[in-house]
Chains A and B, each alone.
Chain A
Amino acid sequence: QSALTQPASVSGSPGQSITISCTGSSGDIGAFNFVSWYQQRPGKAPKLLIFEVTERPSGVSSRFSASKAGNTASLTVSGLQAEDEADYYCSSYAGSKVLLFGGGTKLTVL
Protein backbone atom coordinates (compact mmCIF):
# COMPACT_ATOMS: atom_id res chain seq x y z
CA GLN A 1 0.00 0.00 0.00
CA SER A 2 1.16 3.54 -0.75
CA ALA A 3 2.10 6.06 1.86
CA LEU A 4 -0.41 8.74 2.76
CA THR A 5 -0.13 12.02 0.82
CA GLN A 6 0.73 15.27 2.59
CA PRO A 7 1.81 18.66 1.23
CA ALA A 8 5.58 19.07 1.42
CA SER A 9 5.39 22.39 3.19
CA VAL A 10 3.06 24.93 4.74
CA SER A 11 3.78 28.26 6.35
CA GLY A 12 2.06 30.89 8.44
CA SER A 13 2.73 33.93 10.56
CA PRO A 14 2.62 33.95 14.36
CA GLY A 15 -0.96 33.99 15.60
CA GLN A 16 -2.42 32.66 12.37
CA SER A 17 -3.92 29.21 11.78
CA ILE A 18 -2.76 26.61 9.30
CA THR A 19 -4.18 23.29 8.16
CA ILE A 20 -2.26 20.26 6.94
CA SER A 21 -4.08 17.68 4.85
CA CYS A 22 -3.43 13.94 4.69
CA THR A 23 -5.01 11.97 1.86
CA GLY A 24 -5.37 8.23 1.90
CA SER A 25 -7.88 5.78 0.50
CA SER A 26 -11.02 3.83 1.34
CA GLY A 27 -8.77 1.09 2.71
CA ASP A 28 -7.06 3.19 5.35
CA ILE A 29 -8.23 6.66 6.41
CA GLY A 30 -11.67 6.06 4.92
CA ALA A 31 -12.09 2.70 6.61
CA PHE A 32 -10.90 3.26 10.17
CA ASN A 33 -11.11 5.99 12.81
CA PHE A 34 -7.47 5.37 13.65
CA VAL A 35 -5.71 8.44 12.29
CA SER A 36 -2.87 9.93 14.30
CA TRP A 37 -0.67 13.00 13.92
CA TYR A 38 2.93 13.42 15.06
CA GLN A 39 5.25 16.40 15.49
CA GLN A 40 8.96 15.89 14.89
CA ARG A 41 11.55 18.53 15.65
CA PRO A 42 15.02 18.25 14.02
CA GLY A 43 17.09 15.43 15.48
CA LYS A 44 14.28 14.33 17.80
CA ALA A 45 11.83 11.45 17.89
CA PRO A 46 8.25 12.01 16.74
CA LYS A 47 5.77 13.09 19.42
CA LEU A 48 2.12 12.04 19.40
CA LEU A 49 -0.21 15.03 18.97
CA ILE A 50 -3.53 13.46 17.97
CA PHE A 51 -4.91 9.90 18.05
CA GLU A 52 -8.19 8.31 16.94
CA VAL A 53 -8.79 11.20 14.50
CA THR A 54 -9.56 13.94 17.04
CA GLU A 55 -8.25 12.97 20.47
CA ARG A 56 -5.39 14.84 22.16
CA PRO A 57 -3.11 13.08 24.64
CA SER A 58 -2.72 14.68 28.03
CA GLY A 59 -0.26 17.57 27.85
CA VAL A 60 -0.75 18.42 24.17
CA SER A 61 -1.85 22.01 23.57
CA SER A 62 -5.48 22.65 22.61
CA ARG A 63 -4.11 24.74 19.73
CA PHE A 64 -3.76 21.41 17.91
CA SER A 65 -7.00 19.98 16.53
CA ALA A 66 -7.85 17.47 13.82
CA SER A 67 -10.69 16.05 11.77
CA LYS A 68 -11.49 13.59 9.02
CA ALA A 69 -13.79 13.65 6.00
CA GLY A 70 -13.93 10.64 3.74
CA ASN A 71 -10.41 9.59 2.80
CA THR A 72 -8.76 12.82 3.96
CA ALA A 73 -7.67 13.80 7.46
CA SER A 74 -6.62 17.29 8.51
CA LEU A 75 -4.56 18.82 11.30
CA THR A 76 -5.13 22.43 12.27
CA VAL A 77 -2.66 24.46 14.31
CA SER A 78 -4.19 27.65 15.62
CA GLY A 79 -2.45 30.65 17.18
CA LEU A 80 0.84 29.73 15.50
CA GLN A 81 3.92 30.05 17.67
CA ALA A 82 7.60 29.88 16.75
CA GLU A 83 7.90 26.61 18.69
CA ASP A 84 5.41 24.96 16.29
CA GLU A 85 8.02 24.98 13.53
CA ALA A 86 8.65 21.28 12.88
CA ASP A 87 7.79 18.38 10.60
CA TYR A 88 4.31 16.90 10.94
CA TYR A 89 3.33 13.36 9.97
CA CYS A 90 -0.05 11.70 9.69
CA SER A 91 -0.55 7.98 10.22
CA SER A 92 -3.41 5.58 9.65
CA TYR A 93 -4.21 2.00 10.60
CA ALA A 94 -5.00 -0.10 7.53
CA GLY A 95 -5.16 -3.63 8.91
CA SER A 96 -3.34 -5.87 11.38
CA LYS A 97 -0.16 -5.86 9.29
CA VAL A 98 -0.44 -2.43 7.69
CA LEU A 99 0.20 0.93 9.32
CA LEU A 100 0.79 3.84 6.97
CA PHE A 101 2.54 7.18 7.41
CA GLY A 102 2.52 10.28 5.28
CA GLY A 103 5.68 11.72 3.77
CA GLY A 104 5.62 14.64 6.16
CA THR A 105 4.87 18.37 6.02
CA LYS A 106 7.38 20.99 7.04
CA LEU A 107 5.72 23.83 8.93
CA THR A 108 7.53 27.14 8.76
CA VAL A 109 6.53 29.99 11.08
CA LEU A 110 7.33 33.19 9.21
Chain B
Amino acid sequence: EVQLVQSGAEVKKPGESLRISCTASGYSFTSFWITWLRQMPGKGPEWMGKIDPTDSYTTYSPSFQGHVTISADKSANSVYLQWTSLKTSDTAVYYCARWKGGSSFDPWGQGTLVTVSS
Protein backbone atom coordinates (compact mmCIF):
# COMPACT_ATOMS: atom_id res chain seq x y z
CA GLU B 1 0.00 0.00 0.00
CA VAL B 2 1.31 3.43 -0.96
CA GLN B 3 1.47 5.56 2.17
CA LEU B 4 2.77 8.91 3.31
CA VAL B 5 3.10 9.25 7.08
CA GLN B 6 3.70 12.67 8.59
CA SER B 7 5.17 13.73 11.91
CA GLY B 8 2.92 14.76 14.77
CA ALA B 9 1.30 18.04 15.74
CA GLU B 10 3.53 20.90 16.86
CA VAL B 11 2.98 23.93 19.09
CA LYS B 12 5.56 26.67 18.67
CA LYS B 13 6.14 30.31 19.58
CA PRO B 14 6.65 33.08 17.03
CA GLY B 15 10.26 33.28 15.92
CA GLU B 16 11.01 29.61 16.61
CA SER B 17 12.22 27.19 13.98
CA LEU B 18 10.52 23.96 12.96
CA ARG B 19 10.96 21.00 10.64
CA ILE B 20 8.15 18.55 9.92
CA SER B 21 8.56 15.29 8.05
CA CYS B 22 6.79 13.04 5.57
CA THR B 23 7.92 9.42 5.17
CA ALA B 24 6.92 7.42 2.12
CA SER B 25 6.43 3.67 1.78
CA GLY B 26 4.95 1.18 -0.66
CA TYR B 27 6.54 2.52 -3.85
CA SER B 28 9.88 3.59 -5.31
CA PHE B 29 10.57 6.84 -3.44
CA THR B 30 12.56 8.43 -6.26
CA SER B 31 9.89 7.77 -8.92
CA PHE B 32 7.56 10.63 -7.94
CA TRP B 33 7.92 14.22 -6.81
CA ILE B 34 6.53 15.02 -3.38
CA THR B 35 4.63 18.24 -2.73
CA TRP B 36 3.69 20.21 0.37
CA LEU B 37 0.33 21.95 0.74
CA ARG B 38 -1.07 24.26 3.40
CA GLN B 39 -4.68 24.27 4.50
CA MET B 40 -5.86 27.03 6.80
CA PRO B 41 -9.09 26.55 8.79
CA GLY B 42 -12.14 26.56 6.56
CA LYS B 43 -10.12 27.17 3.38
CA GLY B 44 -8.97 25.22 0.36
CA PRO B 45 -5.49 23.74 0.13
CA GLU B 46 -2.65 25.93 -1.15
CA TRP B 47 0.25 24.45 -3.11
CA MET B 48 3.57 25.42 -1.52
CA GLY B 49 6.15 23.62 -3.61
CA LYS B 50 7.53 20.29 -4.72
CA ILE B 51 10.75 18.31 -4.61
CA ASP B 52 12.25 15.61 -6.79
CA PRO B 53 13.62 13.07 -4.29
CA THR B 54 16.12 11.87 -6.89
CA ASP B 55 18.29 14.95 -6.74
CA SER B 56 16.40 17.25 -4.28
CA TYR B 57 15.58 19.74 -7.06
CA THR B 58 12.84 21.98 -5.69
CA THR B 59 10.20 24.28 -7.16
CA TYR B 60 8.35 26.74 -4.93
CA SER B 61 5.12 28.64 -5.32
CA PRO B 62 5.92 32.37 -5.49
CA SER B 63 3.65 32.76 -2.44
CA PHE B 64 5.93 30.58 -0.31
CA GLN B 65 9.37 31.12 -1.91
CA GLY B 66 11.78 32.35 0.75
CA HIS B 67 9.45 31.53 3.64
CA VAL B 68 9.95 27.76 3.80
CA THR B 69 12.52 25.19 2.72
CA ILE B 70 11.70 21.78 1.27
CA SER B 71 14.33 19.04 1.47
CA ALA B 72 14.61 15.29 1.05
CA ASP B 73 16.64 12.37 2.41
CA LYS B 74 16.64 9.42 0.02
CA SER B 75 18.17 7.12 2.63
CA ALA B 76 15.17 7.72 4.89
CA ASN B 77 12.50 7.87 2.18
CA SER B 78 11.56 11.19 3.74
CA VAL B 79 10.77 14.74 2.70
CA TYR B 80 10.84 17.72 5.05
CA LEU B 81 9.26 21.18 5.35
CA GLN B 82 11.23 23.69 7.39
CA TRP B 83 10.76 27.19 8.81
CA THR B 84 13.57 29.25 10.38
CA SER B 85 11.30 31.85 12.01
CA LEU B 86 7.64 30.97 12.47
CA LYS B 87 4.83 33.54 12.47
CA THR B 88 1.36 33.26 13.94
CA SER B 89 0.05 33.31 10.37
CA ASP B 90 1.82 29.96 9.75
CA THR B 91 -0.80 28.25 11.92
CA ALA B 92 -2.40 25.65 9.65
CA VAL B 93 -2.54 21.98 8.73
CA TYR B 94 0.28 21.00 6.39
CA TYR B 95 -0.04 18.03 4.06
CA CYS B 96 2.50 16.22 1.95
CA ALA B 97 1.27 14.44 -1.15
CA ARG B 98 2.72 12.44 -4.00
CA TRP B 99 2.54 14.45 -7.21
CA LYS B 100 1.37 12.42 -10.20
CA GLY B 101 1.52 15.24 -12.70
CA GLY B 102 -0.70 18.19 -13.57
CA SER B 103 -2.83 18.95 -10.51
CA SER B 104 -3.05 15.33 -9.38
CA PHE B 105 -1.92 14.57 -5.82
CA ASP B 106 -2.32 10.99 -4.58
CA PRO B 107 -2.05 9.87 -1.89
CA TRP B 108 -1.89 12.56 0.78
CA GLY B 109 -0.30 12.25 4.20
CA GLN B 110 -2.56 12.46 7.22
CA GLY B 111 -1.62 16.10 7.85
CA THR B 112 0.44 17.88 10.52
CA LEU B 113 -1.20 20.62 12.56
CA VAL B 114 1.21 23.44 13.28
CA THR B 115 0.08 25.97 15.89
CA VAL B 116 2.12 29.14 16.36
CA SER B 117 1.08 31.17 19.37
CA SER B 118 2.74 33.31 21.99
Contact = CB atoms under 8 A, between A and B. Distances in A.
Given A45-B95, A45-B108, A103-B43, A98 B103 contact: no
B59 A96 contact: yes
Q: Is the interface of B mostly helix, strand, loop or mixed?
A: loop
A46 B95 contact: yes
Interface in A49-101: 51-52, 57, 89, 91-93, 96-101
Contact of B102 (A3, A51, A89, A104): A51
Query: Is the interface on chain B under 10, 10 to 19, 20 to 34, or 35 or more residues?
Result: 20 to 34
Contact of A46 (B46, B100, B108): B108
Contacts of A89: 44-45
Contact of B46 (A36, A48, A97, A101): A101
Contacts of A91: 45, 103, 105
27 contacts: A34-B101, A34-B102, A34-B103, A35-B103, A36-B102, A36-B103, A38-B45, A46-B45, A46-B105, A48-B105, A48-B107, A51-B102, A51-B103, A52-B102, A91-B45, A91-B103, A91-B105, A96-B59, A97-B61, A98-B47, A99-B61, A100-B47, A101-B45, A101-B47, A102-B44, A103-B44, A104-B43
Interface of A: 3, 32-36, 38, 45-48, 51-52, 57, 89, 91-93, 96-104
Given A36-B102, A48-B107, A92-B103, 20 more contacts: A32-B102, A34-B102, A35-B103, A38-B45, A45-B95, A45-B108, A45-B111, A51-B106, A89-B44, A91-B45, A93-B102, A93-B103, A97-B60, A99-B47, A99-B103, A101-B44, A101-B46, A102-B44, A103-B43, A104-B44
